[in-house]
Amino acid sequence: MPESATPATPVTFPPAFLWGAATSAYQIEGAVREDGRTPSIWDTFSHTPGKTAGGDHGDIAVDHYHRYRDDVALMADLGLTAYRFSISWSRVQPTGRGPAVQRGLDFYRRLVDELLAHGIKPAVTLYHWDLPQELEDAGGWPERDTAYRFAEYAQIVGEALGDRVEQWITLNEPWCAAFLGYASGVHAPGRTDPAASLKAAHTLNLAHGLGTSALRASMPARNSVALSLNSSVVRPFSQDAADLAAAQKIDDLANGVFHGPILHGAYPQTLFTATELITDWSFVEDGDLALINQPLDALGLNYYTPALVSAADAETSGPRADGHGSSAHSPWPGADDVTFHQTPGERTEMGWTIDPTGLHDLIMRYTREAPGLPLYITENGAAYDDKPDPDGRVHDPERVAYLQGHLAAVRRAIADGADVRGYYLWSLLDNFEWAYGYEKRFGAVYVDYATLERTPKSSALWYGRAARTGTLPEVQSIQ
């Protein structure tokens, strides 16, 4: 029986359930200087010595910009019914301002047409961390004006693709953009300013609200607008009051800072208390919360591993072992009195513990947090050290087991009353994994980085069978 399942849990998924895969523009497209595209913060960051493993960058990535037709055909061969991809802002609007470059938009028009021709539902993410460098030079996400620039960009893309794309996501994982980009500095733009990171979080919330309104004004009413949060499943090390307080602090910084204003129109008061020595939050202006708190059509949840935290003791110096990269600076402003612990169990190549119960818990939390709001798992997956065998096949039984366990957790959540309408495997292809360069392989499809040849792994074949049947095959069923 699959992990996380029970004898009473149905093994089939609803007939309309979407079986998808996800990618992001900078991680796969390449062609960074073609058709008018200009640098994003990730171009700048990855070309800065010492910022990425091996000095890797996305100049070519896996060349999806030129190979998208083959990649779509591959998805269709696997039986996928949905594909979530992101738009490169600087490919569409090179300076982050002004009119669109039609050559950039034309690429996404062609991609959408190719997906629809193969019966694959496109889901567009407007922002997956690749801010145009000129907007960063003007202040980046801590600068309030960036939210208004995002709304203009959202309108441009909505007008161009809204007639054919029904599923829209404003932002992907704004927590990473704010706190890895501006607090710990392990992501672009590499700044290490706790106060700026909290301002960035608010501007991202404002961008989501303004972008949602811009999309709705520029597209047919039938279209769905959502955002994707990498909400943490935060567990206290013990039930001691100090550990419970530590878990509350991290929950506010990981989750409440976004879902508070977006879903409920208010930041948690405990967040203000935790960060009062860093900022007075005076950057939140009158009317902002109303602009942010736009009704959503769905919510995307990204999940990889839970967090286990406690109050720090005298021997610890603050949260560092949190799974978000190595830095002398914390991505948790105001939480130097919290320690992260490695949760027990098997781990992926990222060092992240495999725990499908966390995905079930996350789904059920948001079923309670936002009753009636449809949910999608917009990212879930694992990195392993995949290699072809002598025959050129790529067997990844660990990833198959990972997917089976987590999809069983999704199915159990549906049985428990959650309205989960789709699952997007991260990732379709091995690709540029941000600061880890090309060292970590998340793809269900193996990419030979020397030749760019694609080879579906065992997990891709297993997942394709699940997509075609609506059931979860046995782990050993794909050889």
Burial grade of 264 (CB within 10 A; 0-12, 13-18, 19 or more): middle
Peptide bond between residue 189 and the one before it cis (omega within 30 degrees of 0) = yes
Smallest CA-to-CA distance from 182 within 199, 170, 207, 203 is with: 199
Catalytic residue of the set 136, 173, 398, 433: 173
Q: Report the alpha-carbon distance of residue 94 to residue 83 in Å, rounded.
A: 25
3-state SS class at 396: coil
Active-site annotation holds for 34:
no
3-state SS class at 22: strand
Check if the beta carbon of residue 322 is closer than 8 Å to that of residue 176.
no
Q: Taking the CB of residue 315, how many other CB atoms lie within 10 A of it?
A: 6
Active-site annotation holds for 379:
yes
Torsion angle defined by CA atoms of residues 263, 264, 270 and 276, in that order, rounded to the nearest 10 degrees: 80
193: left (phi over 0), alpha (psi -120 to 50) or beta: beta
Could you write out the DSSP letters of every residue in 86-127? E--HHHHSTTSSSS--HHHHHHHHHHHHHHHHTT-EEEEEEE
Burial grade of 218 (CB within 10 A; 0-12, 13-18, 19 or more): middle
Smallest CA-to-CA distance from 177 within 277, 85, 266, 258 is with: 258
125: left (phi over 0), alpha (psi -120 to 50) or beta: beta
Check if the beta carbon of residue 459 is closer than 8 Å to that of residue 55.
no
145 contacts: CB under 8 Å, gap ≥ 6: 138, 139
H helix count then E strand count, the chain: 17, 13
3-state SS class at 141: coil
Q: Which two tokens stand for residue 219?
A: 């597209």
Catalytic residue of the set 29, 114, 136, 379: 379
Burial 67-97, CB ≥16 within 10 A → b, else e: bbeebbebbbebbbbbbbbbbbbbbbbbebe
Active centre residues (catalytic): 173, 379
